[in-house]
Amino acid sequence: MSAAAIVSVEDYLHRTEKPYCEYADGVLHPKPMPTKLHALIQKILMRLLDAQGVEALCEMHVRLSSTKYLIPDVIAAPVIQSPYPTEPVLLCVEILFPEDRVGSMLAKCEQYHAWGVPFCWVVDPEKQTAWQYPSGGEPEHVERGGTLTAGELSVHLEELFSEQPR
């Protein structure tokens, strides 16, 4: 097993190459390249959230601490800080890639909760289901006919999965 190269926060924040990497204590963790289905779910989700009066953005770095930056697939808040959030947002969403495991994404949600994010969703575009995970609660599986909620925000999975890539 080879040792990971240590990267400074300054170097991390100036990276421009893709795929994007998350950053924890000097170590880069590449995110998979988004597929068309992944990007389509992001687009629809942002549109549905924007329509409810919040700002929704995709692939935005969030600073959980001075040595930890994650990149949720979608974030939502009444106002999103610039250039990247250093204060918790209302909602972080992770969209599964085929190689992702639900357990690892729920563990990532726990990191968002520890930062102060009250709501997390994990969306599985292949199975067309999702999990909602409120801070202080337990993850709840939501079937395709169900609705994800985050405070006053709600997204019907039928709407989210209404457009299939060609």
**pLDDT tens-digit profile, the chain (166 residues):** 445 678 899 899 888 777 789 999 999 998 888 889 999 999 999 999 999 999 999 999 999 999 999 999 999 999 999 998 999 999 999 999 888 888 899 999 999 999 999 999 999 999 999 999 999 999 999 999 999 999 999 999 999 998 766 5
- Report the pLDDT value the prediction gives residue 2, as an integer from 0 to 100: 45
SS3 of 26, please? coil
CB 86 within 8 A of CB 117: no
Provide long-range contacts, Cβ within 8 A and 24+ apart, for 27-31. Answer: 28/4, 31/71
SS3 of 9, please? helix
pTM: 0.92
- Alpha-carbon distance of 25 to 140, in angstroms, equals 31
| Nearest residue to 100 via CA among 38, 27, 41 | 38
- Report the pLDDT value the prediction gives residue 113, as an integer from 0 to 100: 98
β-pairing, 129-134 vs 140-142, is antiparallel
Superfamily of domain 32-160: tt1808, chain A (3.90.1570.10)
Report which residue type is found at 2: S
- Report the pLDDT value the prediction gives residue 118, as an integer from 0 to 100: 98
Domain coordinates of the chain in residue numbers?
32-160
3-state secondary structure 64-117: EECCEEECCCEEEECCCCCCCCCCCCCEEEEECCCCCCHHHHHHHHHHHHHHCC
- Alpha-carbon distance of 112 to 106, in angstroms, equals 10
